[in-house]
Structure 1
Amino acid sequence: MEQKEEPDVTIEYCNKCGYLEKYQELLEYLQQEHPSVKVKGHEGRRGSFEVTVNGETVHSKLSTLAYPDYEDLSKIIKDVQSGKSTRKCKEQPITSCSLS
């Protein structure tokens, strides 16, 4: 049986915006769900929280203004492990802003 390569997961986050904590939260979640997957993170552009799987952007906070849905991201990683292609990740609901 052919063994699949583990997906390459990279997370770019804006530390100036306070997203380091959110990166660490997602990293811990992914390590629990996918212990063999290596997740790389790095400080990036202002306002960013971008997630790529095998070089394909699956989530962009710069585009959506939301964080990725962790369970859906986990499903994308499982799909890639089974040989499927990547897709866009669902977003977490935005609950921290109000319009007046």
Structure 2
Amino acid sequence: MSALHVDIEYCDKCGYSEKFHDLAKYIEKKHPSVEVNGREGRRGSFEVSVNGEIVHSKLSTLAYPDYDDLQKIISEAQDGKPARTCKQQPITSCVIS
């Protein structure tokens, strides 16, 4: 079986570099054999792909991926299951007045 790849596109201008590094450490701790790659991308982006399949898009959801659910998706992919969309972290910093 070939190595599993997780690719993360993030907006450095938005300060998402730290979020990328946190997520990469989380993934590497849970799945040491998984290759995690990050790259600066489009403004506002935090897009996560597992073996080329997008499982989370901040550009579409305006939220970050749920780390625990992403870990499950990676485990499922390692078992040969197709990638599915990741749950989102709750958005708590938005206030409508």
Regarding TM over 0.5, the answer is yes
Which of 1 and 2 has greater Rg?
1
The residue type equivalent to 1:31 in the other structure is E
TM-score, normalised via structure 2 length: 0.97
Counterpart AA for 1:16: K
Other-structure match for 2:36 = 39
Q: TM-score, normalised by structure 1?
A: 0.94
Unaligned runs of 5+ in 1: none
Match of 1:19 in 2: 16
Which portions of structure 1, spanning 4 or more consecutive aligned residues, are displaced by more than 3 angstroms?
Answer: none
- Counterparts of 1:20 and 1:97 in 2: how far apart (Å)? 21
Fraction of identical pairs, as percent: 65
Question: Where does residue 68 of structure 1 map in the other structure?
Answer: 65
Between the two proteins, the alignment pairs up a number of residues equal to 97
Q: Secondary structure at the residue paired with 2:9?
A: strand
Letter in 1 for 2:50: V
Stretches of structure 2 lacking an aligned partner (at least 5 in a row) = none
**What secondary structure sits across from 2:42 in the alignment?**
coil
